[in-house]
Amino acid sequence: MEPIKIIEIKKSIFADNNIDADELRDELKKKGVYLLNLMSSPGSGKTTTLIRTINLLKDKIRIAVMEADIDSDVDAVKIKEATGIPSIQLHTGGMCHLDAEMTRQGLDSVPMEDLDLVILENVGNLVCPAEFDTGSCRNAMILSVPEGDDKPLKYPLMFSVCDVVVINKIDVLPYFDFDIDKCREYVRMRNPKAQVIPICAKTGEGVDVFADWILREVENWKK
Amino acid sequence: MEPIKIIEIKKSIFADNNIDADELRDELKKKGVYLLNLMSSPGSGKTTTLIRTINLLKDKIRIAVMEADIDSDVDAVKIKEATGIPSIQLHTGGMCHLDAEMTRQGLDSVPMEDLDLVILENVGNLVCPAEFDTGSCRNAMILSVPEGDDKPLKYPLMFSVCDVVVINKIDVLPYFDFDIDKCREYVRMRNPKAQVIPICAKTGEGVDVFADWILREVENWKK
């Protein structure tokens, strides 16, 4: 296997990230490429969820993944090995989030003309990534059962900027005090339109619902 | 019960946080108060661990807790109810970390002259809090089993600044691929002197080891 491409992300020079993010979205619309920004805490199962989801989608649409990480390239390697799709690693050099310009640096290294969907796996962090528009078409986040159902109360911004909340690791529900209905209610307090999708990335349960949502989104974007 | 005191933290004006942090440590040394900075991901069980630990220590030393949170006061209320010790809430107003000046703003609201130990529960985040010296005597962090044993590889700075790594939720080890020996090895790669303490905050298993470490630290600090 070819070695994973690693991009060392540079700090942005743009003063207004919101304008830059809107411009990036316009470019993506023109190119017909859908960008999904996936956020979560460390250890919520982003990479496993992505592998399952991509394997359900890769025969229907053309996908690439950009893995943002502070230092390692573990995740990009895992995804490439498990799915065979183009996967690059973005090194943030200690930075706790990605903004639109940093995302663009990554997109410059994927074959945009051959793609329908790019998934950006943001830095594992429930605070800072929520504050910066990456230029993505939508934001999704993964909350895992062991983290607790109260997270929407504690990280309000993250939950208000996400259109989809995937609840992962539902196989361990019997061992944790996690109430899915209560969690849905808390998510709705932050964003009444957010969709909540319970899954188990380990067994694959529910992942098709998330994959179908992505597929519909990509189709609408290309219209 | 008296309502929880909530401090709205203001952004720091100090240019050099490292100098400010050293000054704060000097002041703490003079007052004989030990400050422990406790960090972790969201949902790792910081608050439950603190409650167990404080209940083992509160008859031996005088303790107060400062709970940093972006928005809610859930944790400060929980700690006060479960332990009876002074507990205040620091609202960071969306900020992803605390620095020394922000920590000082919190310390101004606890009864320092009547205390041996102040525990600062930092914002749930493995990235930004590691970058800012809070002026604490030591840093500790909690990594929970569901987050995965590879976290020291992915969040190198956090693990290199911590003197103690508490591994929480060992009761669910059978349901997750988490290798404690491997994790110890990864922690040592980042910080050869770091102590690793496996616990289960829910049942109390191992918490006495963490409490004893804190007690020794506080005694040495006051010498």
Sign of the dihedral defined by the CA atoms of residues B183, B187, B193, B197, in that order: negative
Residues of A in contact with B172 (CB under 8 A): 146, 172, 175-176
Q: Provide, as residue numbers in chain A, all residues whose Cβ is less than 8 Å from the Cβ of B171.
A: 175
Q: Check A151 against B127: CB less than 8 A apart.
A: no
Indicate if the pLDDT at residue B133 is higher than 80. Answer: yes
Mean pLDDT of A36-61: 95
Does this complex have an ipTM over 0.85? no
Mean pLDDT (chain A) is 92
A72 close contact with B: CB closer than 8 A? yes
pLDDT band at A73 (very low <50, low <70, confident <90, very high): confident
Domain segments of chain B: what residues? 5-221
Nearest CA in chain B to A177: B202
Rounded Cα gap, residues B218 and B137, in angstroms: 9
Q: Which of A48-57, B11-20, B44-53, B144-153 has the lowest mean pLDDT?
A: B11-20
Q: Do B128 and A123 touch (CB under 8 A)?
A: no
Q: What are phi and psi of A122, to 5 degrees?
A: -70, 170
* pLDDT over 80 at B167, yes or no: yes
Distance from CA of A160 to the nearest CA of B (A): 13
Q: What is the mean pLDDT of residues B30-40?
A: 97
Q: What is the largest CA-CA distance in chain A?
A: 48
Closest listed residue to residue B53, CA positions, set B222, B209, B217, B161: B209
Report the CATH fold assignment for A5-221.
Rossmann fold (3.40.50)
CB B142 within 8 A of CB B44: yes
Q: Specify the pLDDT at position A171.
A: 96
Interface test with B, best of A44, A147, A202, A203 (most B CBs within 10 A): A147
Q: Are B164 and B141 in contact (CB under 8 A)?
A: yes
Among A43, A124, A153, select the one facing B146 at the smallest CB separation: A43
For B140-150, b/e burial (b = at least 16 CB within 10 A) is: bbbbbbbbbbb
Pick from A74, A123, A131: which is nearest to B153 by CB? A74
Q: Is the pLDDT of residue B93 over 80?
A: no
pLDDT band per the 50, 70, 90 thresholds, residue B14: low
Q: Which of A20-24, A214-218, B8-12, B70-74 has the lowest average pLDDT?
A: B8-12
- Closest CA in chain B for residue A157: B94
Q: What is the pLDDT of residues A142-201, one digit of tens each?
A: 999 999 999 999 899 999 999 999 999 999 999 999 999 999 999 999 999 999 999 999
Q: Strands, DSSP E only, in chain A?
A: 5-8, 34-40, 63-69, 87-91, 117-121, 138-144, 164-168, 195-198
Res. B81 pLDDT band, cuts 50 70 90? very high
- Is the pLDDT at A1 greater than 80, yes or no? no
* Pair A3, A87: CB distance under 8 Å: no
Question: Among A16-25, A204-213, B7-16, B92-101, whose mean pLDDT is lowest?
Answer: B7-16
**Would you call B80 an interface residue with chain A, using a CB distance cutoff of 8 Å?**
no
- Best A126, A157, A170, A171 residue to mutate vs chain B (most B CBs within 10 Å): A126
Cα dihedral A184, A187, A189, A194 sign: negative
Confidence label for B94 from pLDDT (cuts 50, 70 and 90):
confident
A122: pLDDT strictly greater than 60: yes
Distances (CA, A) of B56 to B39, B206, B210, B214: 20, 12, 10, 11
